[in-house]
């Protein structure tokens, strides 16, 4: 008898959960820009920790004369398209930043999904003392579509 009541309770719970999901499935919630930025920065930090930290370091200061810093540089804070292309194509030029030269090559990270690139670049542009507008998945997708190495 108790097993039958328990089974009915479980069935009622499953059916009510399914009904609730069906009711809310088509509703789209708009995120405020602050919530979207925070979520993108948090997701980007994970990508950064996996793919970028070994060269650019946890503090974003890079490695002297090898891997450039990500702190308040025109590469990070400037042209979004140029920054996206660096991630997609890699970077194989000597570069001078704040009077110091950096010469280590950066491999292409074109294997990352558009959203991962948007998130990691948004993280970098809003960390290490940087403050710049987010990069969106649509911007990455557009650059990738027209990208010529």
Using CA atoms, how far apart are residues 50 and 52, in angstroms rounded to an integer? 6
Distance of CA 91 to CAs 10, 16, 68, 77, Å?
57, 54, 11, 17
pLDDT for the residue 18? 43
Residue 98 has pLDDT above 90, yes or no: no
Give the mean pLDDT of 101-119: 97
Mean pLDDT of the chain: 84
16-36, pLDDT tens digit by residue? 444 444 443 434 334 456 679
């Amino acid at each position: 008898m108790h097993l039958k009541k328990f089974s009915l309770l479980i069935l009622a719970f499953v059916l009510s959960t399914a009904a609730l999901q069906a009711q809310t499935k088509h509703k789209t919630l708009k995120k405020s820009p602050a919530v979207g930025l925070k979520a993108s920065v948090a997701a980007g930090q994970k990508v950064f920790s996996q793919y970028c930290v070994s060269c650019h370091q946890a503090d974003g200061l890079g490695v002297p004369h090898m891997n450039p810093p990500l702190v308040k540089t025109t590469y990070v804070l400037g042209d979004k398209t140029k920054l996206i292309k660096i991630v997609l194509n890699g970077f194989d030029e000597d570069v001078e930043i704040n009077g110091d030269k950096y010469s280590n090559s950066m491999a292409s990270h074109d294997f990352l999904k558009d959203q991962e690139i948007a998130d990691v670049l948004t993280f970098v542009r809003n960390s290490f003392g940087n403050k710049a507008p987010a990069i969106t998945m649509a911007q990455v997708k557009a650059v990738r579509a027209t990208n010529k190495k």
